Structure 1
């Protein structure tokens, strides 16, 4: 057993992990390339990677090249230039102009930090969108507002939808339309307050339903219709009872939310969510093979210790990516291969080590920042192929001596405050704890103070007038101001949904709290006593079953 250098907990590095790591090392650096055993446990490694990912916090500022007013994930006082998308991808600047010589008398990370402060940064990842100015890490979308990490969406607001239309307040839903407050669901239509549901229509307050329609307050159903509280009703009776429930009332919805969480505990839960898998260990894993400790991912093979991946193959210790192969310790990727120790790399990049923000087919680069169409570059300085290969060999030897080789970027080199990043969402720390570790904290998060009159929101959406969109609302939890945009209000009115009393940030954390953690415990199936690994902690009240026992219950 190894001991984590950060949290001092014991952790095991399995033979399976070593074999996968060696395969990736050979793909990245050749047969003589070796990645050493990690110094941190898997959870602390994930925390460190997430320190480099800011999804939801954006600022008004100017583009440092054009002077145009823009929206960026970097505040106005960032110590490096920030360019809008058009300027950053344009030909008026070259990342190699900022190149620097490698100094073998100093640690690599120290030199990389100097480069970080010089090279222009892309304001936010924003590709092929129309009218999506307040979004980040979004592509091929239209008329969206405050969505993150999303692609191919239209008329969606607040959350992380994929291939969706007209969805509001979501957390990883796919191929869905006209949905509200749905979490980890796929192919839904006109559903509200649902989690882990798929291929269903007109559900409200439902959990783990598949192939259902017209169900209210139900758990664990398959191919059912006209069910309330898991009991069958006639069509007429179902419709009559649903008319009696005032779903347009805020007070009624709050009562139903509490009632539904209590109702869920009466039913058995499957030890993991997932279908179409072979030899996998994790949770929310779909159509995957030979994966372990992998979460919220699909169409993966040979993946370990990773979260939220799509179409990943031979990937270890990575988060938030699509179409990647032979990757190790990468935070954020899209269409990349043969890379290690990188943060946000995309667009057909390959053979990168210790790079940040590389794109447009960059390959064979080491320690580069914001590299576009680059090859054989080190610290953004251009080399010939022969020079590059000799230098990389020397740098790796140097980093082995300094203890840096094989470790992801330290958190203190993140461009963001800890509380701006996903690390804060999944590994919350106080400001004092963050600063004690020598990491960054952001006090001014761009939120504006408001001292105007408080607006009383009617309990019923039917009693709410259009001018609510002109008013400033105050979050009942955080005290922060927020607004209702006209498109959002039209959605609420159409589906008789009461206005939220909480700001988008608090609503996001409310959804996150309904998810199980990306962690596994060893337990027994409550029925057959078979050993299982599950994201349900042993002290939790749910009855947890193995797959066989669970299927016997729901089918």
Structure 2
């Protein structure tokens, strides 16, 4: 027997009348073809057809991604500052995790009023109930970190399991490193993206099992290489030129990455090498069957998936940053061992979640945010271990289903039901979030999706760095790391391009000296955001293989918009000949 018969009848009538064909996005004017498969998804999840294009939907979902943000909030009771992902100008409050999880927010409720838009009621709850500010999955030790998976002696790392690391995001088992993203098992290295098992290497992209090397792209099992693309099992390469051991060592003796000006020269040279010689596969992924995606591993029957890190994945469509055993999800950002979720963001160990943001261990939850271990909840915020709640108010099981039917019908009739929470619900600074970083969104697009743009330093979000009277600019930073003593630690430095201040910390300067790397001259947040964008965007487009001219689908890349892309067959053949 259906739980919500009136809503079900309304949606069935809408879906029966829905025919395949061209549609126009209500927000952007983008055209797309709504095919039988898409209509089948609506029927499967019992939802009305979206009025927004698939790309707009994914931009909305991923606009909630934090990516890499550290802000100061003022504790509402003690007045002390603490670091959080929640920007104080967002209009939302936060508490340190231990305090948040020690509270019960089920006393903050809203009565059902069918004349009031449901989204307005949910937003009012979200503005009253604080967010868990640090999102620790494992308590860090002596670290400045957020969403920690277990950090020790690390500075400004997010979603990492690290030791002695600086300025890194989404990286596991990293040690004595700086600027690492979407990578695992990296040690004594600097600036590593989408790479695994890297040791004593710098400026590494899309590589595996490499040691004592610099400036590598798509290299596996390489050693003693300086500038290489698409290589396998190689030694003593110099910008793809094969050298003898003696000649390679002679040239390396003249390399000086501890000078900022010389380091930038090598970075430009490597960029030119990438443009001129690098071959990109349509998908940097392995163990995939019938998959359209990029950076997807261990997947079957998936389409338009970006960054599927481990798997197994099955029947994921329009999903990004996927983890664990996730399946049967459509239009989902960061499904983590999730299944049967639709148009939602960060369902962790969750099932049958729709139109929600961050719902760990939840089932049958809709239009909710930051709820943990909840089941059969609608329009709720900040609940834990609850069942049969609507707008944070508890009902008996029978009454819950009757009330839910009424609420969903009212929201459907108003045109509210069926789209994701707007970006006005996002607690982070949107220009540094997932919209621009993953989907190259401009501020105007963020605002169309409900977002608000404000100065990043507003309401004391950046805190106070050192003595403002000692403020320096990035041009004042010495060219050579050997000319920077520990007295540079803590001095505020203004980055005019990013329009924010930063400061070096003493252990960081020691790290640069040890690796013989010049101290960077860009705000550390901007460096990590640039690092994240080095993996490319999640915007899919159709092009042709640069070799055989067959059609392929891949993703756009801001830094390499005209790169040479090969289909899988031609790419593997190229590696056999040139790798």
Q: How does 1:61-140 map to 2 (within 5 A)?
A: 61-64=73-76, 69-76=81-88, 79=91, 81-90=93-102, 93-131=103-141, 134-140=144-150
Unaligned runs of 5+ in 1: 26-33
Residue 20 of structure 1: how far off its partner (Å): 4.5
Q: Provide the C-alpha distance between the structure 2 equivalents of 1:420 and 1:516, rounded to a whole number of angstroms.
A: 15
Q: Provide the C-alpha distance between the structure 2 equivalents of 1:244 and 1:77, rounded to a whole number of angstroms.
A: 49
Q: 1:41 to 1:451 in 2, by over 3 A?
A: farther
Q: Provide the C-alpha distance between the structure 1 equivalents of 2:250 and 2:432, rounded to a whole number of angstroms.
A: 47
The match for 1:283 is 294
The match for 2:567 is 546
1:305-361: per-residue Cα shift (whole Å, max 9, x none)? 111111221111111342211111222232222211110122x222211110011x2
Q: How does 1:51-70 map to 2 (within 5 A)?
A: 51-64=63-76, 69-70=81-82
8 Å CA contact retained: 1:51, 1:416: no
Higher relative contact order at CA 8 Å, sep ≥6: structure 1 or structure 2?
Answer: 2
The match for 2:256 is 246
The match for 2:153 is 143
Unaligned runs of 5+ in 2: 1-21
Moved more, 96-105 or 112-121: 112-121
In the superposition, the TM-score normalised over structure 1's length comes to 0.91
1:172-230: per-residue Cα shift (whole Å, max 9, x none)? 11222222111111221122111111122122001001122221100000121222222
Match of 1:48 among 60, 65, 86: 60
Residue 472 of structure 1: how far off its partner (Å): 2.6
The match for 2:162 is 153
Residue 426 of structure 1: how far off its partner (Å): 4.3
1:351-410: per-residue Cα shift (whole Å, max 9, x none)? 211110011x22211110011111111111011122212222222222211112211112
Is 1:169 aligned to residue 179 of structure 2?
Answer: yes
Q: How does 1:475-490 map to 2 (within 5 A)?
A: 475=495, 477-490=497-510
In the superposition, the TM-score normalised over structure 2's length comes to 0.87
8 Å CA contact retained: 2:68, 2:528: no
Q: Provide the C-alpha distance between the structure 2 equivalents of 1:353 and 1:179, rounded to a whole number of angstroms.
A: 43
1:239-260: per-residue Cα shift (whole Å, max 9, x none)? 2321221122211110111111
Residue 78 of structure 1: how far off its partner (Å): 6.3
Q: 1:57 to 1:247 in 2, by over 3 A?
A: closer
Q: 1:243 to 1:483 in 2, by over 3 A?
A: same
Q: Provide the C-alpha distance between the structure 1 equivalents of 2:380 and 2:143, rounded to a whole number of angstroms.
A: 28
1:129-158: per-residue Cα shift (whole Å, max 9, x none)? 2236532222222222222233x2222211
Secondary structure at 2:381 match in 1 = coil
The match for 2:321 is 308
Q: Provide the C-alpha distance between the structure 1 equivalents of 2:322 and 2:450, rounded to a whole number of angstroms.
A: 30
Q: How does 1:202-351 map to 2 (within 5 A)?
A: 202-264=212-274, 265-298=276-309, 299=311, 300-311=313-324, 312-346=326-360, 348-351=361-364
CA RMSD of aligned residues (A): 2.5
Residue 429 of structure 1: how far off its partner (Å): 6.3
The match for 1:502 is 522
Q: 1:434 to 1:423 in 2, by over 3 A?
A: closer
8 Å CA contact retained: 2:301, 2:315: yes
1:502-524: per-residue Cα shift (whole Å, max 9, x none)? 11122134324433321222222
Match of 1:12 among 8, 27, 33: 33
1:450-474: per-residue Cα shift (whole Å, max 9, x none)? 4535373332223322222142333
8 Å CA contact retained: 2:89, 2:454: no
Match of 1:529 among 549, 559, 572: 549
Q: Provide the C-alpha distance between the structure 2 equivalents of 1:282 and 1:500, rounded to a whole number of angstroms.
A: 33
Residue 170 of structure 1: how far off its partner (Å): 2.0
